[in-house]
Amino acid sequence: MADSSFNPFNMAQQQFDAVAEKLNLDQATRDFLRNPDREFHFNIPIRMDDGSYKVFKGFRVQHSDARGPAKGGIRFHPQETVDTVRALAMWMTWKTAVVDIPLGGGKGGVICDPHNLSMREQEAIARGWVRQIARNVGPNQDVPAPDVMTTGQHMIWMLDEYEKMTGAKAPGFITGKPLGVGGSLGRTEATGYGVMYTVREACKVMGIDITKTTASFQGFGNVSQYAVDQYTKLGGKAIAVSCWDHEDKKSYTYRKLSGITFEELITITNKFGEIDKVKATEIGFEILDGNAWIEQDVDILVPAAIENQITKDTVNMIHPNVKIIAEGANGPTTPEADEVIKARGILNIPDFLANAGGVTTSYFEQVQCNMNYFWTKEETLEKLDSKMTAAFHAVYNLSKERNVYMRDAAYMISISRVAEAVKMRGWV
The string of pLDDT tens digits covering residues 34-70 is 999 999 999 999 999 999 999 999 999 999 999 999 9
Whole-number pLDDT of residue 3: 55
The verdict on residue 401 lying in a domain is no
Whole-number pLDDT of residue 177: 95
Whole-number pLDDT of residue 320: 92
The verdict on residue 349 lying in a domain is yes
Looking at the structure, tell me whether residues 136 and 251 fall in a common domain.
no
Looking at the structure, tell me whether residues 64 and 199 fall in a common domain.
no
Which of 310, 329, 354 corresponds to the end of one domain? 354
CATH number at residue 310: 3.40.50.720
The verdict on residue 4 lying in a domain is no
Phi, psi for 106 (deg, rounded to 5): -145, 170
Looking at the structure, tell me whether residues 139 and 172 fall in a common domain.
yes
Looking at the structure, tell me whether residues 297 and 242 fall in a common domain.
yes
Looking at the structure, tell me whether residues 253 and 173 fall in a common domain.
no
The residue type of 206 is M
The verdict on residue 408 lying in a domain is no
- Tally the domains of the chain: 2
Looking at the structure, tell me whether residues 151 and 164 fall in a common domain.
yes
The verdict on residue 370 lying in a domain is no
Catalytic residue among 107, 177, 237, 256: 107
The verdict on residue 124 lying in a domain is yes
Looking at the structure, tell me whether residues 290 and 349 fall in a common domain.
yes
Whole-number pLDDT of residue 148: 84
Looking at the structure, tell me whether residues 249 and 281 fall in a common domain.
yes
Burial of 241 (0-12, 13-18, 19+ CB in 10 A): buried
Which of 354, 369, 386 corresponds to the end of one domain? 354
Whole-number pLDDT of residue 1: 41
Q: Is 107 among the residues known to form the active site?
A: yes
With both helix axes pointing from N to C terminus, report the angle between 82-98 and 377-401 in degrees, rounded to the nearest 10.
Answer: 90
Whole-number pLDDT of residue 216: 94
Rounded to the nearest integer, the mean pLDDT of the chain is 93
Looking at the structure, tell me whether residues 284 and 313 fall in a common domain.
yes
Nearest to 358 by CA among 130, 198, 171: 198
Nearest to 300 by CA among 312, 288, 316, 318: 318
Strands 70-76 and 105-110: parallel
pTM equals: 0.88
Query: CA 358 to CA 142: how far, in whole Å?
Result: 16
User: Which residues in the chain show pLDDT less than 70?
Assistant: 1-4
Looking at the structure, tell me whether residues 178 and 209 fall in a common domain.
no
Q: Check: CB of residue 102 under 8 Å from CB of residue 67.
A: yes
Which of 183, 198, 214 corresponds to the end of one domain? 183
Whole-number pLDDT of residue 222: 85
Whole-number pLDDT of residue 88: 92
Whole-number pLDDT of residue 2: 46
CATH number at residue 54: 3.40.50.10860
Q: Tell me the residue range of the domain where 139 lies.
A: 38-183
β-strand partners of 208? none
Looking at the structure, tell me whether residues 199 and 255 fall in a common domain.
yes
